[in-house]
Structure 1
Amino acid sequence: MINLIKNTYRSIINQRPYSFINILGLTIGLTCVILIILWIKAETSYDRFHKDHENLYRVNHILRTPKRMMNVGGINDPAGPEFKSKFPVIDDFLRFSPAQVNLKYQDDFHAVNMVYADSNFFSMLDFPLLSGKKKSCLSASDGIVISRSAATKIFGDQYPVNKIVEINNLKYVVCGVAHDPPVNSSIKFEAVALLSILENESYIGWDGGLTCQTLLKLIPGTDTEKLLDDIKEYLFEVVNERFIKSGFEIVPYLQPLKDIHLGSDTDFDFGDNGSWKRIISFAFVGLLILMTACFNFVNISTALSIKRSKEVSIRKIYGSGRKRLIIFFITESGLSILISLFLSLLLAKAIFQYFNILVGSELNFSMITGLEWFIIIFLLWIVCVFLASFYSAWYLSAIPPMAILRIHTGGKRRQLSRNLLVTFQFTLSISLIISCLVIYSQMQFIRSTDPGFSDENVMYIGLSQQAAPRSEIIKERLLSVSGIRHISRTTGGMPGLNFTSNGYMVEGMDMPVMSNAVYVDKDYIQTMGIYLDEGRGFIDNKGDRFNVLVNNTFVNTVGWEEPIGKTIVRNNKEYKVIGIVKDFLTGSLHNKIQPLFISQFNEWGDFSVIILKLDASPTIDIKFQIEKIFTEEDPGNPINMVMLSESLRSQYDTERNLNIAFFVLSLLAILISVLGLFGLATFSSQSRKKEIGIRKVNGALVQDIIKRFSSELLIWILIAIAVATPLTILIMRNWLTNFEYKVGISIWLIIAGGLITLLIGILSISMATFREANR
């Protein structure tokens, strides 16, 4: 072994440029693969830390209507207790509802991710407590449990238990402190209080009201298909028999808790779920990076076989058999790969925080510990040894001693195998470049797409329960602030973000229509810059109270030819259509524009959001004046000023970060390919010194030599383009299915990808040849 280490060291020193390229390429490749494996392991381990995760199921439902289906992550509030009492196989249930709240302690406010839950939240789920008892910490109606990070944020160094905090003018006593939820938890929280607080303020029933995340804990061995059939029968009795007559139906289904993060396809869900498509994409890129680095190793090692032929010959003459030579070369390569693996771990740790930023995660490098990771690293080393050294070791050991002594060139067969490997690398490079161009085009399309309303210099501010009844007074005061052009009020739905959804009976149809809805004041259309296609907007008139606007999609959905004057009924109230607004985004570009109902009659009570259209970006002075008015009109509650444009952009933050990560990984894969190509080109030009010398003596210019050498590469690039193009188009079309509104894959993107790859290849060859031709 010591001799092998010495020989490996001598080999690295004697072939410094090529050894550097091999080790650098493998180090970069292995670093990427280690980080990708870490991320994939975290993504696929979500919610599996709960000891009963195999028996925990969430009850989701699909709401069917004549014109639309909604897939909802959750179900109406009564489901949990009614199912538990009806079906013996349900051991327990847990309901919870996430919310963003402002928590007040003394005179300070803190934005907190709240979860309102049943009292068994901590006993049914495995979130360890630092203080308090799992079964009793939420037994008091005014009890609240906070996370460790929230305790530090709110109380500093003070002991938090028994401290009094306030949320929406309700006082709570801190009864416990929990560990922060792990990174791989779908359920995130900074504070947990009883769900009954929301139930006291909400309508509870099967025909609307509070919808909760409902988990069922089943007895081990339960037949979930039979249970689901029983649940469907029960729902038919209590709600669907009546609903179906009106064209509605609640269709429940059970989803394992462990599958929520990667398996959800719901319209409404908690958290930022992952995607199997994303995992497969990153795993595929990681595999390609590893293969590229290993093929570089193979290419350069087989090319160097000419220089090592005498060494192999002498070893064979002195009795080394083929098996022993294979073991020698594999061991030698294995030690080089081990060096790369060690360096890759150091590099992965050094850049880990930047990787977290790229993928929008909170992973910890300490996760790379324990026997499991030792096995992963060992298997990674084995795979690299097999891919990178087996072929070259087998190839060198197969040639007879006297034949090796006569070798002076690479031979056509060896050259062909190297060219095929280079073609594979070019295919990879072209695919990644075209993919990056398509992704960039789609993200630019998202940025430049006209949402159908004005989001520039639009600010919105949520109103507290105390301020909501005074929204009109606050609006009048804000109109006096210089720099504010228009002001409107709404019940909370913002264009491009979210709206509530209701069922409506429309003139000319027997069945109800599901539609997004927003309740606004008369200035909404002007403030948001929404275009009227037909009819008129709202006026400040009591007679306009039951007049409504609908969008073009609403009109097309119900099939109206002359929509003005048509009637819409909800909750026994009749509304008259007075105007048609041009379609604008009701959600993100991932989803279709939905039918929209816009009304001045606010059936939900007071307006909860004020929208400001500013003349320009908000200055410090404008923010100060706005804050002053809110402080006077709503003392004791914080003000949160949000720019609509920032909220719209934030919808794509996760996707944007992961696409940047994909872009960076692609660049690294291309860099590895370039390193290998440069090393191969350098060796090739050194091997053809005599040819270069003869051509120069015969009058060939340096550029002529470069042109000749580069032209030999052209055919392989063209083959790579032919292979990569259809494959990449297929993959990217599949990725674009994530968006309802998307770009096409232009022929110019394909041409650009091919030209960029061609340029990279020619530059690599030219640089290596130029250096040799000028000697």
Structure 2
Amino acid sequence: MFKNYLKTSIRSLLKNKTFSFINIFGLAVGTLCCIYILLYIEDQYSYDKHHNNVQDIYRITSSLASKGEKHNMSTASPPIAPALKNDFAEVKQFTRLVTTIGAKQHLLSYKEKSFYEQDAVFVDSTFFDVFTYHFVNGKSLKVLDEPYSVVLLKPVADKLFGNEDPVGKVIEINNTYGKNNFKVTGVVDESFGKSHIKANMFIAMNSGGMGEYVRQNDAWAGNNFTNAYVKLQPNTNVAALEAKLPQFLQSHGAQQLKTFGFDKQLHLQPVSSIHTTTGYEAEMTKTVSPSLLYILLLIAVLIQVIACINFMNLSTARASKRAKEVGVRKVIGAERKDLIKQFLSESFLLSLVGVLIALPLLLLALPFLNRITGADIQYSFLANYRLWFLLAGIVVITGLIAGSYPAFYLSAFQAIKVIKGNFTNQISAAGIRRSLVVFQFVLSIILIAGIIVIYSQLRYTENKDLGFDKNQKLVFSFYTQDTKSKMQSFADDLRGLAEVKNVSKANNYLSQFVINDMGVYLAGGNMANGTNVQFMITDEYFAKANGIKIISGRDFHLYDSGKVLVNETLLKRLGLTPEKAIGTRLYSKFDPDPEFYSEIAGVMKDFNYNSLHDEIRPFMLAYSQNESMFSHLIVATDSKNYQALLQKIKAIWQKDFPAVPFEYTFLDDEVQKQYETEITLSRIINSFTLMAIIISCLGLFGLAAFSAEQRRKEIGVRKVLGASIFNLTTLLSSDFLKLVAIAIVIATPVAWWAMSKWLQSFAYRIDISWWMFAIAGLVAVLIALVTVSFQSIKAAIANPVKSLRSE
């Protein structure tokens, strides 16, 4: 019986090659998109799932609230994790991790080999007790017990040692903390799975530098810069433990919290959810928004649904051709269930062929799709057994959805009426086809409107006046004491170039996360009623180099120690006016140190030093002459030939830093990187909307061809009676354009609502305008018109004699 169904299905597909191609190609493209999006989503949710007993591993996060401001930090104060282990039996183990703040690049040396490497972290000796890594060399226990020991990621070890066994070898690491020798105690790779922790070197916490600062730190209120983790005992009631944390924090840090004057709360976040949770500041690596993944999942489903709609539409459209087949089968004894099985088997066959074609297409398109999404999905996904269950599910679900209506519709024809030529059904097939076409174009119009709104917001972020000049700025970074000592000489040399307008030194540059903050208050106040302010440490050229406007007072002068420039937002919080603020002292205090103050030299016009996602916060620039505080050089240029300018700068660099690679970045590129998530979303929606439109057009093309064929004799009669090609094309196209018009009416409010929700993630955003949806509707009309007109014109110019010959 199955063999008979299969033969009949193949014969039907071959007999109707055009419709079969449209269905199979549409299903293949839809399935390709669907599979890739599902693989991408699974990849994003796979982070940190490989750690042993991952369900018991939690990150300690901090919520800080002061004067209406609330900040959710992914980090905690240094002593919190060890104290949790000491105070609560529920905590089995703890570990801390801290990035090498101010030391992004590290010069690694072994024998004659020497190169720069990024992403070194200080970790407690318990790190590999909490997190699971695959050790290629060395043992996971006690590898970080000794001071100045280091575990390397395999690519770094390979570059340093080649085929040598790295364990026991001593390497030199030169960074902002100085030159130190480290003993390699292990080599790990990431073969077990991906992690939110991005590190090439794991340095023992008891190795000086930032690690020693963490070990000695006793700040319970401030200094929230440590990535802290706890591993709980099995079956711990996490909610009950978290409920004890307020009292725990008060028992250790009540006085500090009172002095600082802000509310602090601790929370436990499952490690396995870190990568797919947003809203935390100071994340180690870029996280992915769950809403983005939900949008992608929705797009995957919609594209597959659009492909299924094509099948349903074309199958019901062909019902008239197969009506007599149904009638004859019923007359010779076929029951309705046999016909349902027959038509569903055709649907499953089409779905299977579509999936089988989609797989090799996906393999070919994988590099391109990875570039669009920024993912690194490998060909090894074919070895994932879940993929094959997924494919089987797609075949079954697609086959059922796409074939259910045609199967039940066609099998319901009454044999006598069908053989007599009357095969109407109680349910209007034409009405259902129109509804499905409308649904297809509703989805397409929503996606097109999404493209327009996202593009407009990205253009807004590019062109908005941020309050500083991001254009024609070069940024050079220095990460070792040797290079920092020569920063001034390099800056002086750059000032000798005619194309260089200004050069400034700073501990950070605009668009980067501001790591420094403190509470400030006016005379007579205290930290309890202070205002939290973010700040950067700069020289006297920073405001000029970045085009920051001074609206009151003056810019920094040489030897301006103790002076600060403040923004308007800070003044508003302090209740000062720009005119009266000049000369005002801002006090601060960190126990047990004595109170100190800074004096306002000038007031800066508010500017967006961070992403447009965030509102402008209290901010200031603090003047310093301490060269060791600076890590970056911002170079303002005025050149129309950047290649020539960069060659000149490179020559100076090689003179001042002969052993250091020439590396730089453009400030406007760094600003734009703040919107990587939106740029990725834009690329994804652009690409998959194009796929959805192609599939929709295929279905519309097939329906237009069917409609033209059904009305062939009507067209012949009209031509004989004098109808023009334009009249006939308009007649055949108008029915479809009416459906698109209905789709525009339905899609517009839905798209408006969806895009309004998306824009809420920006503190500074565009206003949604009617023309965005008008363009989306116009694009849909043009797509439909071009698709339908081809068949309409073809039918209109056909020889009427051929169509009327049988009459």
- TM superposition score category, shorter chain reference: over 0.9
Which residue matches 1:521? 539
SS at match of 1:353: helix
Which residue matches 2:630? 607
1:23-102 superposed matches below 5 A: 23-99=24-100, 100-102=104-106
Q: Deviations over 1:286-328 (max 9, x none)?
A: 1111111001100000100111112112111111110101001
Seen in structure 2, the aligned counterparts of structure 1 residues 426 and 621 have a Cα distance that, compared at 3 Å, is: closer
The 8 Å contact of residues 181 and 189 in structure 1, kept in 2 or not, is answered as no
Asked if 1:555 is matched to 2:559, the reply is: no
What is the deviation of 1:246? 4.2
1:278-317 superposed matches below 5 A: 278-317=292-331
Seen in structure 2, the aligned counterparts of structure 1 residues 286 and 236 have a Cα distance that, compared at 3 Å, is: same
What is the deviation of 1:489? 1.0
Q: Deviations over 1:108-167 (max 9, x none)?
A: 313232222112222321111111100132233222222222233444455444443322
Seen in structure 2, the aligned counterparts of structure 1 residues 420 and 508 have a Cα distance that, compared at 3 Å, is: farther
**Aligned equivalents of 1:72, 1:471: Cα separation in 2:** 33
What is the deviation of 1:628? 5.4
Which residue matches 2:180? 170
Seen in structure 2, the aligned counterparts of structure 1 residues 619 and 157 have a Cα distance that, compared at 3 Å, is: farther
Which residue matches 1:492? 508
Which residue matches 1:149? 155
1:528-567 superposed matches below 5 A: 528-540=546-558, 542=559, 544-561=560-577, 562-567=580-585
What is the deviation of 1:221? 1.8
What is the deviation of 1:276? 1.1
Q: Give ranges in structure 1 of 5+ residues lacking alignment.
A: none
1:596-675 superposed matches below 5 A: 596-601=619-624, 606-616=629-639, 619=642, 622-623=645-646, 626-627=649-650, 629-630=652-653, 633=656, 637-638=660-661, 640-675=663-698
Asked if 1:419 is matched to 2:425, the reply is: no
Which residue matches 1:268? 282
Q: Deviations over 1:719-751 (max 9, x none)?
A: 211211111111111111222211121100011
What is the deviation of 1:554? 1.4
What is the deviation of 1:67? 4.7
SS at match of 2:481: coil
Q: Which residue of 136, 139, 145 maps to 1:139?
A: 145
Seen in structure 2, the aligned counterparts of structure 1 residues 182 and 670 have a Cα distance that, compared at 3 Å, is: farther
SS at match of 1:137: coil
**Aligned equivalents of 2:713, 2:323: Cα separation in 1:** 20
Which residue matches 1:251? 265
Which residue matches 2:601? 578
The 8 Å contact of residues 240 and 249 in structure 1, kept in 2 or not, is answered as no
Which residue matches 2:131? 125
Asked if 1:363 is matched to 2:377, the reply is: yes
Which residue matches 2:205? 195
**Aligned equivalents of 1:407, 1:111: Cα separation in 2:** 79
**Aligned equivalents of 1:155, 1:304: Cα separation in 2:** 69
Compare 116-125 and 702-711 and name the one that shifted more: 116-125
The 8 Å contact of residues 729 and 792 in structure 2, kept in 1 or not, is answered as yes
The 8 Å contact of residues 326 and 413 in structure 2, kept in 1 or not, is answered as no
Paired residue total: 773
Which residue matches 1:104? 108
AA matched with 1:205: D
Q: Which residue of 714, 717, 737 maps to 2:760?
A: 737
Q: Which residue of 415, 429, 437 maps to 2:452?
A: 437
What is the deviation of 1:604? 9.7
The 8 Å contact of residues 204 and 210 in structure 1, kept in 2 or not, is answered as no
**Aligned equivalents of 2:628, 2:187: Cα separation in 1:** 36
SS at match of 1:487: strand
Seen in structure 2, the aligned counterparts of structure 1 residues 188 and 617 have a Cα distance that, compared at 3 Å, is: farther
AA matched with 2:432: S
AA matched with 1:269: E
The 8 Å contact of residues 511 and 674 in structure 2, kept in 1 or not, is answered as no
Seen in structure 2, the aligned counterparts of structure 1 residues 705 and 189 have a Cα distance that, compared at 3 Å, is: same
Q: What TM-score do the two structures reach when normalised by structure 1?
A: 0.95
**Aligned equivalents of 1:621, 1:720: Cα separation in 2:** 55
Q: Give ranges in structure 2 of 5+ residues lacking alignment.
A: 590-594, 799-807
Asked if 1:376 is matched to 2:390, the reply is: yes
**Aligned equivalents of 1:7, 1:128: Cα separation in 2:** 54
SS at match of 1:651: helix
**Aligned equivalents of 1:347, 1:424: Cα separation in 2:** 27
Which residue matches 2:736? 713
The 8 Å contact of residues 9 and 346 in structure 2, kept in 1 or not, is answered as yes
AA matched with 1:50: H
1:380-395 superposed matches below 5 A: 380-395=394-409
1:688-767 superposed matches below 5 A: 688-767=711-790
Compare 421-430 and 94-103 and name the one that shifted more: 94-103
Seen in structure 2, the aligned counterparts of structure 1 residues 639 and 244 have a Cα distance that, compared at 3 Å, is: farther
**Aligned equivalents of 2:184, 2:272: Cα separation in 1:** 30
AA matched with 1:70: H
**Aligned equivalents of 2:276, 2:355: Cα separation in 1:** 30
SS at match of 1:176: strand
Seen in structure 2, the aligned counterparts of structure 1 residues 184 and 737 have a Cα distance that, compared at 3 Å, is: farther
Seen in structure 2, the aligned counterparts of structure 1 residues 495 and 294 have a Cα distance that, compared at 3 Å, is: closer
AA matched with 2:311: F
**Aligned equivalents of 2:523, 2:489: Cα separation in 1:** 37
The 8 Å contact of residues 143 and 186 in structure 2, kept in 1 or not, is answered as yes
**Aligned equivalents of 2:503, 2:181: Cα separation in 1:** 33
Q: Which residue of 462, 471, 475 maps to 1:460?
A: 475
The 8 Å contact of residues 496 and 585 in structure 1, kept in 2 or not, is answered as no
What is the deviation of 1:249? 2.8
Seen in structure 2, the aligned counterparts of structure 1 residues 279 and 410 have a Cα distance that, compared at 3 Å, is: farther
AA matched with 1:551: N
Q: Deviations over 1:531-586 (max 9, x none)?
A: 1222221122x3x3222211122122223233333321134222222321111112
The 8 Å contact of residues 357 and 657 in structure 1, kept in 2 or not, is answered as no
AA matched with 1:526: K
**Aligned equivalents of 2:134, 2:414: Cα separation in 1:** 67
Q: Which residue of 180, 184, 205 maps to 2:218?
A: 205
Q: Which residue of 340, 347, 350 maps to 2:364?
A: 350
Which residue matches 1:186? 196
Q: What TM-score do the two structures reach when normalised by structure 2?
A: 0.91
**Aligned equivalents of 1:322, 1:71: Cα separation in 2:** 62
What is the deviation of 1:4? 2.5
AA matched with 1:661: I
The 8 Å contact of residues 482 and 622 in structure 1, kept in 2 or not, is answered as no
Compare 428-437 and 294-303 and name the one that shifted more: 428-437
Seen in structure 2, the aligned counterparts of structure 1 residues 680 and 183 have a Cα distance that, compared at 3 Å, is: farther
AA matched with 1:56: I
